[in-house]
Chain A
């Protein structure tokens, strides 16, 4: 296995105060298919305004993850065959699942509102997608970080787009890129620490120490660093900058 990765979701301080569940979730996995190694990750952030959004983010992330896993198996890990229609099909499946659960609970689908972001990386090609805020960051050469998907907020700072919106697919970003050596997915709770909005750029010092530490781990999912990542995400310096739930997935590809 060439990927080393870690991911964690931690409840924000404002949600602790209001005894809400953590509405963030992340799923990441490394699969071996047809002699190819595929790394993929999905992150979802439930809307604070939606009563059932922690369910919404679970249904969305597991729904999309399940689709990706099956698609990859059926296509023997050919990431280069993923086009925008394939991503739309994954998203639509999750939307349908959200509609059926809302109907079965006699609720509105917007009660399950969440954002979603994900990346699928083959040996050479990768596909990233996102609806709403949060960001996907990649280092294409060793030192330069770029946001593959930038948060989409609409006009106002306190608005965003959700997978449950009727026009969600209009706000679906799909990006095709060369598989990066380092990548990160985050929810909006970490925007202010990791991104520089005035210049629309990535704040590299936020990521570098963590990527460097991850490089020294053994391959695969790091249990050890997961706890350290959780501690970091719940630390005072982070909580002073944000009171929201926060999720971070980090992955590096051994050369």
Chain B
């Protein structure tokens, strides 16, 4: 290797483009369960939902410049990608295997958000309240109590909003304890991942287009036409 060879990982420019795109950012972390129980149709529908998410965000000029997606899967806990705008984001094709280290995944997601906020501040980029979006069909197989405390503290400090979607036979008792009382888990109807991601993109679009003093009203997903069980 000559001394002029760059290590791609270390190139300090070209990754964030805050100068070219100084729009405020709305970071979204998807915490996705890809444990063995998601095998077959559930993981296929989840993958299709991620493609829909990208397409929906791309279709909105402002959201395309503002919403940044990061994906953490479990298990094992794996960062699929850090924060990317819709046009930079290639939806992964997830395969199902492993157990459900949900606690560690939540902590990983919160750490990613904290690091991202520091980068925004260092670059003078303003940002919206981040979203953590947990989708699972199971229950944690690791120690989850620390993560639950972090979620409750983060919500109390308004450091982020934590949403939970329970699929099929998810362990709703534990999910209820991880989520905060004013944002209890929603139960997905069947495998309606696509409507879920359309709703999610509409919601983050509404947030990312809001001005100071605006009230952002999210549509209720638990309606007959919505993706959540009432």
Residues in chain A within 8 A of chain B (CB atoms): 46-50, 53, 113, 132-133, 153, 155-160, 162, 188, 197-200, 244
Contact = CB atoms under 8 A, between A and B. Distances in A.
Interface string B202-224: 00000100111111100000000
A5 B129 CA distance: 39
Given A48-B213, A48-B214, A198-B19, A158 B124 contact: no
Contact of A153 (B18, B126, B216): B126
A162 B213 CA distance: 9
B124 A200 contact: yes
Contacts of A47: 212-213
When A and B form their complex, which 10 residue pairs have the shortest distance between CB atoms, in order from nearest? A47-B213, A198-B124, A160-B212, A157-B24, A49-B215, A157-B126, A158-B210, A48-B213, A48-B214, A49-B213
A188 B216 CA distance: 18
Contacts of B216: 158
B133 interface: no
Contacts of B126: 153, 156-157, 197
A49 B24 contact: no
Nearest to B123: A198
Contact of B211 (A53, A188, A197): A188
Contacts of B129: 155-156, 158
Contact of A157 (B19, B124, B128, B215): B128
Given A48-B214, A49-B213, A188-B212, A158 B125 contact: no
A187 to B, nearest CB: 10
Contacts of A153: 126, 212
A158 B19 contact: no
12 contacts: A47-B212, A48-B211, A48-B213, A48-B214, A49-B213, A49-B214, A49-B215, A155-B158, A157-B128, A188-B212, A198-B124, A200-B124
A48 B207 CA distance: 14
Nearest to B25: A157
Interface of B: 18-19, 22, 24, 123-129, 158, 207, 210-216
Chain A binding surface SS class? loop
B79 to A, nearest CB: 24
A3 to B, nearest CB: 30
Contacts of A162: 213
A158 B211 contact: yes
Contacts of A160: 212-213
A113 B215 CA distance: 13
B127 A244 contact: no
A158 B18 contact: no
Nearest to A198: B124
A24 B140 CA distance: 51
Contacts of A158: 128-129, 207, 210-212, 214, 216
A53 B128 CA distance: 23
Nearest to B210: A158
Contacts of A46: 213
A199 B213 contact: no
Residue of A156, A158, A159, A197 with most partner-chain B CB within 10 A: A158
A154 to B, nearest CB: 9
A238 to B, nearest CB: 15
A48 B209 CA distance: 13
Contacts of B124: 197-200
A50 B215 CA distance: 9
B85 to A, nearest CB: 16
Contact of A198 (B18, B128, B158): B18
A46 B24 CA distance: 22
Contacts of B128: 156-158
A232 to B, nearest CB: 20
Contacts of B22: 197-198
